[in-house]
């Protein structure tokens, strides 16, 4: 069946949930347009990807072997499988060795009936530019970030040598950058300015991926024009060969069946849905999750438990920790009012449940989009990477979120958590944030419909690639 399709696109996600999931959504959006999609990944990631795309006829998964390298435990093929953050560097380094098998796969495809229109590669896999250039295939890059965060990250990277000598919390003054909020060094992704010099392996790696990025044919953005229009020209100015920014998001909304699908953890999902159904008051439950990357200490998780308990607000909390368990006596106290889950959940389905009225979130970009698309205001608690930028954007610019007081401090107290939860769910500021979230949700859903900005951009992108 697939071989009768006119066009094919190759997608190579980086092996981290937050990077892979949106590209699977893009794969689905393309397959709905009758385009064949080949997703390149490694054996241990292929399983979950295959399950995720199982109902889509035109998507296939191609496995290439993950290399064995010194300093990286065997079987670690995804950032979630790394024993700790220290292994992230060796992991990035290992992904470079995927080039040879990837080149072979691409070469074979070029000789097939449907040579690929393009390769959509995660920015971390910077070396795919060389592969694409050698074989004459346009490369589109994907970051999994919003427009503004990309613009700021790049500018910060360019100015990193000067930034290293500035203080952490004073407003930054960067000549080529006018962010719509006060920006400090503490808001920037950590390793951008912390590297000891420009020749250490992390800086070298960043330089390579940035250069590959700048020479790509364009960038795919999981955002929509209406949300970040004013920053698109700055983003595009980074592309040396006239590359365009294609705002196609929220990617997960292209597929109308999304949100109706059952989670892979069937038993769990039904317990969870049942619990949510029992919460009869609309917008009454706080959903809590800190994503798949941030490490939160056991002491801080205890404090979150106490804060949620003290708030009196019903909550559904997804905890990702191998070591933490609920403080003693807490289970009794929260019985019937709080549900704590340790497994993978279908976050989109949860957010679209009418009982959910707020999201205490680490502000990963996917979570931000998913929350706002479901009209759910956010209680922003950024932790790592570009999450501080996302938080400032949704609080200060969009007005669809409130911040947890003291978030810039390492430890957030139960009082601060409890007060902020109550303000979002029941306070005046919370009401205003909900109205803003609802307004943005409406625009997001319109963007992916026929005639909407993201829908049209996707069609235009495919047309341009076909004409290339
Ligand atoms: N996610 C999910 N279930 C979970 C945990 C995470 O579906 O139990 C999804 C979530 O919906 C989002 C992604 O994983 O799409 C996490 O990406 P995000 O950018 O929010 O944060 P990251 O994990 O990359 O920090
Ligand atoms: N980076 C980049 N371009 C960007 C954003 C980040 O090249 O637009 C590089 C940069 O060197 C940064 C590194 O990628 O230090 C890690 O980025 P991020 O903070 O997103 O990674 P995470 O901590 O989520 O793994």
Predicted confidence (pLDDT) per residue in 222-272, tens digit = 999 999 999 999 999 999 999 999 999 999 999 976 543 333 334 456 889
Ligand at shortest distance from the CA of 296? 1
Ligand at shortest distance from the CA of 203? 2
241 is catalytic: no
Is residue 382 over pLDDT 70? yes
Cα(150) to ligand 2 centroid in Å equals 9
Q: Looking at ligand 2, which residue's alpha carbon is closest to its atom 23?
A: 385
Cα(24) to ligand 2 centroid in Å equals 21
- Average the pLDDT over each of 186-200, 211-225, 231-245 and give the range with the smallest value: 186-200
Q: Looking at ligand 2, which residue's alpha carbon is closest to its atom 1?
A: 206
CB–CB of 258/444 below 8 Å? Answer: no
Does the beta carbon of 160 sit less than 6 angstroms from any atom of ligand 2?
A: no
Confidence grade of residue 157 (pLDDT, cut at 50, 70, 90): confident
CB–CB of 149/386 below 8 Å? Answer: yes
- Burial class for 362, CB neighbours closer than 10 Å (0-12, 13-18, 19+): buried
Q: Quick one: which atom of ligand 1 is closest to the CA of 361? A: 20
Confidence grade of residue 42 (pLDDT, cut at 50, 70, 90): very high
Place of tokens 């024993």: 83
Q: Quick one: which atom of ligand 2 is closest to the CA of 205? A: 11
Ligand at shortest distance from the CA of 263? 1
Does the beta carbon of 219 sit less than 6 angstroms from any atom of ligand 2?
A: no
Question: Cα(376)–Cα(356) distance, rounded to whole angstroms?
Answer: 7
Of 122, 187, 213, 346, catalytic:
122
25 is catalytic: no
- What token pair was written down for 205? 């790696």
Q: Looking at ligand 1, which residue's alpha carbon is closest to its atom 1?
A: 347
Does the beta carbon of 187 sit less than 6 angstroms from any atom of ligand 2?
A: no
In terms of DSSP H, where are the helices of 312-452? 330-334, 347-351, 365-373, 387-392, 414-426, 428-447
Q: At what angle do helices 201-214 and 147-158 cross, to 10 degrees?
A: 120
Q: Which of 14, 15, 16, 18 to mutate to test the pocket of ligand 1 (most atoms within 8 A of CB)?
A: 18
Q: Quick one: which atom of ligand 2 is closest to the CA of 203? A: 11
C-alpha gyration radius of the chain: 22
Q: For residue 270, which phi and psi values (nearest 5 degrees)?
A: -75, -35
Ligand at shortest distance from the CA of 348? 1
Q: Is 380 left (phi over 0), alpha (psi -120 to 50) or beta?
A: beta
**pLDDT at res. 175:** 82
- Burial class for 337, CB neighbours closer than 10 Å (0-12, 13-18, 19+): middle
Q: Which residues line ligand 1 (CB under 6 A)?
A: 17-18, 21, 291-293, 318, 344-348, 364-367, 370
Q: Quick one: which atom of ligand 1 is closest to the CA of 318? A: 8
Beta strand 116-122 with 356-361: parallel, antiparallel or unpaired?
A: unpaired
Give mean pLDDT, residues 130-143: 98
**pLDDT at res. 414:** 97
CB–CB of 400/440 below 8 Å? Answer: yes
- Average the pLDDT over each of 31-35, 69-73, 264-268 and give the range with the smallest value: 264-268
Cα(159) to ligand 1 centroid in Å equals 30
Cα(23) to ligand 1 centroid in Å equals 13
**pLDDT at res. 410:** 80
Does the beta carbon of 154 sit less than 6 angstroms from any atom of ligand 2?
A: yes
pTM of the model: 0.92
Question: Cα(353)–Cα(463) distance, rounded to whole angstroms?
Answer: 37
Question: Cα(287)–Cα(372) distance, rounded to whole angstroms?
Answer: 13
Q: Looking at ligand 2, which residue's alpha carbon is closest to its atom 8?
A: 150
CB–CB of 366/384 below 8 Å? Answer: no
Percent of the chain past pLDDT 90, that is, above it, reads: 83
Beta strand 244-247 with 401-403: parallel, antiparallel or unpaired?
A: unpaired
CB–CB of 243/138 below 8 Å? Answer: no
Confidence grade of residue 85 (pLDDT, cut at 50, 70, 90): confident
Q: Cβ of 260: how many Cβ atoms within 10 Å?
A: 9
**pLDDT at res. 264:** 37
**pLDDT at res. 259:** 41
Question: Cα(380)–Cα(396) distance, rounded to whole angstroms?
Answer: 11
Confidence grade of residue 10 (pLDDT, cut at 50, 70, 90): very high
Ligand at shortest distance from the CA of 370? 1
Which residues face 62 on adjacent strands? 40
Q: Cβ of 393: how many Cβ atoms within 10 Å?
A: 28
- What token pair was written down for 427? 């306070």
Indicate the average pLDDT of the chain.
93
Q: State which H helix or E strand residue 244 sits in.
A: strand 244-247
Q: Looking at ligand 2, which residue's alpha carbon is closest to its atom 13?
A: 206
Q: Quick one: which atom of ligand 2 is closest to the CA of 79? A: 25
Question: Cα(116)–Cα(289) distance, rounded to whole angstroms?
Answer: 38
Cα(379) to ligand 1 centroid in Å equals 16
Q: Looking at ligand 1, which residue's alpha carbon is closest to its atom 13?
A: 18
Q: Looking at ligand 1, which residue's alpha carbon is closest to its atom 11?
A: 347
Question: Cα(73)–Cα(442) distance, rounded to whole angstroms?
Answer: 45
CB–CB of 373/392 below 8 Å? Answer: no
Q: Cβ of 108: how many Cβ atoms within 10 Å?
A: 10
């Amino acid at each position: 069946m697939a071989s009768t399709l006119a066009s094919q696109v190759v997608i190579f996600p980086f092996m981290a949930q937050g990077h892979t999931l949106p590209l699977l959504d893009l794969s689905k959006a393309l397959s709905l347009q009758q385009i064949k999609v080949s997703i390149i990944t490694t054996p241990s990631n292929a399983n979950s990807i295959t399950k995720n795309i199982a109902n889509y006829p035109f998507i296939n998964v191609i496995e290439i072997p993950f290399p064995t390298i010194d300093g990286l435990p065997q079987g670690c093929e995804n950032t979630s499988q790394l024993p700790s953050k220290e292994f992230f560097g060796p992991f990035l380094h290992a992904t470079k060795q995927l080039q040879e098998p990837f080149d072979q796969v691409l070469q074979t495809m070029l000789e097939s009936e449907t040579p690929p229109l393009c390769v959509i590669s995660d920015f971390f896999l910077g070396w795919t530019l060389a592969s694409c250039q050698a074989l004459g295939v346009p490369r589109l890059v994907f970051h999994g970030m919003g427009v503004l965060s990309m613009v700021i990250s790049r500018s910060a990277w360019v100015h990193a040598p000067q930034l290293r000598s500035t203080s952490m919390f004073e407003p930054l003054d960067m000549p080529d950058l006018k962010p719509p909020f006060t920006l400090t060094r503490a808001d920037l992704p950590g390793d951008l300015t912390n590297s000891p010099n420009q020749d250490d392996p992390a800086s070298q790696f960043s330089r390579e991926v940035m250069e590959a990025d700048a020479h790509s044919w364009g960038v795919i953005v999981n955002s929509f024009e209406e949300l970040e229009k004013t920053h698109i020209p700055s983003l595009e100015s980074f592309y040396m060969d006239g590359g365009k920014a294609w705002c196609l998001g929220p990617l997960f909304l292209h597929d109308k069946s999304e949100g109706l699908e059952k989670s892979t953890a069937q038993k769990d999902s039904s317990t969870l849905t049942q619990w949510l159904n029992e919460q009869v008051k609309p917008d009454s439950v706080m959903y809590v999750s800190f994503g798949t990357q941030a490490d939160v200490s056991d002491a801080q998780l205890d404090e979150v438990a106490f804060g949620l308990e003290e708030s009196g607000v019903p909550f559904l909390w997804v905890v990702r920790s191998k070591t933490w368990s609920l403080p003693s006596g807490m289970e009794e106290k929260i019985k019937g009012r709080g549900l704590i889950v340790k497994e993978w959940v279908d976050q989109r389905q949860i957010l679209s449940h009418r009982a959910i009225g707020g999201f205490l979130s680490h502000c990963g970009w996917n979570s931000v989009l998913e929350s706002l698309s479901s009209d759910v205001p956010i209680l922003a608690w950024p932790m790592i990477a570009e999450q501080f930028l996302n938080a400032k954007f949704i609080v200060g610019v969009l007005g669809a979120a409130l911040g947890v007081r003291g978030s810039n401090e390492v430890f957030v107290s139960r009082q601060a958590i409890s007060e902020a939860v109550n303000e979002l769910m029941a306070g005046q500021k919370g009401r205003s944030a909900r109205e803003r979230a609802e307004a943005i949700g409406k625009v997001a859903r319109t963007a992916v419909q026929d005639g909407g900005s993201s829908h049209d951009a996707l069609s235009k992108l495919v047309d341009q690639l076909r004409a290339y």
